[in-house]
Amino acid sequence: MAGPGLQGERFAVIVVGSGISGLFVALEARHLGRVLVLTKGSIDDCNTRWAQGGIAAAVGPLDSPEQHLADTIAAGAGLVDEEAARILCYEAPARIRDLVRYGVSFDSLGGEVALGREAAHSRARVLHAGGDRTGAEIETALSEAAKDPAITILDHTLVTRVITREGEAAGVEAVALQTGEREVYLADAVVLGTGGAGQLFSHTTNPDVATGDGVALAFDAGAEIADIEFYQFHPTALRVPGVPTFLISEAVRGEGAVLRNRAGEAFMKRYHPLADLAPRDVVARAIVREMRSDGSDHVLLDCTGLKSVDLAARFPAIFAYCMSAGIDIRVDPIPVAPAAHYLMGGVRTDTWGRTTVPRLYACGECACTGVHGANRLASNSLMETVVFGKRVVEHLAAGGGGAAAATPDRAALPMPATAAPSHAELQAMMWECAGIERDGAGLERGLQTIAGWPARGEGAVTREAFERQQMTTVAALMLTAALRRTESRGGHYRSDYPETDDAHWKRRQVFVRER
């Protein structure tokens, strides 16, 4: 409960973020009392809306949660929390039913739900809605359902601090961006559902809002941050001069599209037995090496052999976007290159979404449940948001309270004393120093760059200035973790330490703010 002396409008639950995790939590929690959703953009600005591939669940007759679990563990490169992954895989079918109840209409074929296969899945278990518009379809359905008297949604409202009293989360401080007014909102629980951090990098599939705010807010409040070095770069984003980066879903390769180099060679068979459906980290690094060998900034994704697939119907958003860039994917190969896509680490939580700060919860991409380990299995991300969002609310309904147990060997780190001069300078530095291939010299150079930036402003209230501070915090955490992890594993690849070192590094790195 909030401590004495605090004044502000009071809610049962405050949710920060309006993607699938935030809206799902708000909908599930409305029976607990008034729910407040705060989002710095509009309700539509979120990573969910851009998720093309789909949502994974073992609902097919030839599939099982146990097989889904085995694939998740295999993809995670030795660091998956098996308890959390088991919960994800076994509760996934029920969460699909919840989404249907909230109005999501999944694609069907012959009267049965249509299931696709994506990289590192041993079965076809990926559900889609609206073809390659799965995220948008889910977001639209949840946004409509959230028009409920019990749910207050304030957009263009920037959360600048999680308020703690006697060590517990008690509410948030926020700024109404359109008026500049500062507000305090109080609640019995605060849930962070702010999404990822793709804007740390100059090439990303993420929207402008993905600046790592939830991770930085939690770190500042004293919560643990885990696995922050593991960042997933999606292998195939459109790379056309003058055209914004756009995700070309893995589901395109799932339908049979082939990656080719400049010579026209289908090169992935040289890198992995699964060829074009190898894990994302393998495919991304293979593309980088092919580009380097060819002296090119892209490879080609060839869909022209998919004569039995109606590409315009199966991938309407991709088809339309490529056509607008002058590419007819039925006859033209698509120029693609890797781009920053998904943060595997984040605010460390237990299987009920609790952080190490009592009454502060996190779910979705900003959280680190341990489900993804060092490398996320495709289409597990949307499912993670609803599985653990549901568990957050179940815990609150049972009385809430308590916190995730602290990690005994966590490392204390200071908040950065500086902030990036601009988004572009931070993005360029991170792409160069902490991108797909890393080394010690580059990571140290990145930390030195941060140390040389201007001092943090006091009381930054503009969205851009505040985002630069949050991005600098997350960048410093990521660079530090990547520098300390002297091995390669999953989404973290060190060219100076190219081998996986289980003897020393089959463990998670956890950081907490130095006090």
pLDDT in tens, 135-165: 889 999 999 999 999 999 999 999 999 999 9
Boundary of a domain, candidates 293, 314, 339: 339
Q: Return the percentage of the chain with pLDDT > 90, whole number.
A: 89
Residues 335, 239, single domain; the answer is: yes
For the chain, the C-alpha Rg in angstroms (whole number) is 22
Range 93-102 average pLDDT: 97
pLDDT of 252 above 50: yes
pLDDT of residue 53: 63
**Does 324 fall in a domain?**
yes
Q: Residue 294: inside a domain, yes or no?
A: yes
Check residue 257 and give its pLDDT.
Answer: 97
Of 322, 339, 356, the last residue of a domain is 339
* Pick from 221, 264, 228: nearest CA to 403: 221
Alpha-carbon distance values, 288 to 238, 247, 259, 283, 368 (Å): 14, 17, 12, 9, 27
Categorize the per-residue pLDDT at 3 as very low, low, confident or very high, splitting at 50, 70 and 90.
Answer: very low
Query: Over the chain, what is the mean pLDDT?
Result: 94
pLDDT in tens, 208-232: 999 999 999 999 999 999 999 999 9
Distances (CA, A) of 173 to 181, 371, 397, 501: 11, 31, 25, 43
Per-residue pLDDT tens for 194-211? 999 999 999 999 999 999
CA distances from 138 to 118, 226, 267, 385 (A): 19, 28, 35, 12
Burial of 217 (0-12, 13-18, 19+ CB in 10 A): buried
The burial of 105, by beta-carbon neighbours within 10 Å (0-12 exposed, 13-18 middle, 19 or more buried), is given as exposed
The CB density around residue 62, as the number of other CB atoms within 10 Å, is 10
Q: What is the mean pLDDT of residues 21-27?
A: 97
Residue 2: band (very low, low, confident or very high) from pLDDT cuts 50, 70, 90:
very low
Task: Please give the pLDDT value at position 27.
Answer: 98
pLDDT band at 301 (very low <50, low <70, confident <90, very high): very high
Residue 301 domain-assigned (yes or no)? yes
Q: Is residue 430 part of a domain?
A: yes
As a whole number of Å, the end-to-end CA separation of the chain is 24
For residues 301 and 309, what is the distance between their CA atoms, to the nearest angstrom?
15
Question: Domain tally for the chain?
Answer: 2
List Cβ neighbours of 399 (8 Å cut-off, separation of 6 or more). none
Is 429 in contact with 446 (CB distance < 8 Å)? yes
Average pLDDT on 173-185 reads 95
Question: What pLDDT is stored for residue 44 in this prediction?
Answer: 64
> What residue has token string 């990303």?
204
Alpha-carbon distance 41 to 265, whole Å?
44
pLDDT of residue 120: 83
Q: Are residues 241 and 328 in the same domain?
A: yes
CA-based nearest residue to 52, from 299, 366, 382, 336: 382
Q: How far is CA 99 from CA 23, 33, 35, 145, 196, in A?
A: 11, 22, 19, 11, 22
435/422 Cα distance (integer angstroms): 19
Lowest mean pLDDT among 101-110, 124-133, 459-468: 459-468
**Token output for 507:** 């463990």
- Residue 69, in any domain of the structure: no
Q: Are 191 and 27 in contact (CB under 8 A)?
A: no
- Which pTM value belongs to this model? 0.94
Given this model, what pLDDT does residue 459 score? Answer: 61
pLDDT digits (tens, 9 = 90+) for 363-420: 999 999 999 999 999 899 999 999 999 999 999 999 998 999 999 999 999 999 999 9
Is residue 123 in a domain?
Answer: no
* pLDDT tens per residue across span 336-355: 999 999 999 999 999 999 99
Asked, for residue 496, whether it belongs to a domain, the answer is yes
Residue-range definition of the domain harbouring residue 303: 235-339
Whether residue 143 is contained in a domain is answered as: no
Q: Which residues are catalytic?
A: 280
What pLDDT was estimated at residue 5?
58
3-state secondary structure of 174: strand
Q: Which two tokens stand for residue 351?
A: 């299987």
What is the reported pLDDT for 324? 97
For the segment 463-480, the average pLDDT, to the nearest whole number, is 97
Residue 444, pLDDT > 60, answer: yes
Residue 460 has what pLDDT? 57
What interhelical angle do 463-484 and 423-433 show, nearest 10? 10
CA 38 to chain centre: 19
The residue from 339, 370, 394 where one domain ends is 339
Residue 205 to residue 197: CA distance in whole angstroms: 10
pLDDT score, position 503: 98
Which pLDDT band holds residue 279 (cuts at 50, 70, 90)? Answer: confident
Q: What CATH number should be reported for the domain holding residue 417? A: 1.20.58.100
Paired residues of 176 in beta bridges? 157, 181
CATH of the domain at 314: 3.90.700.10
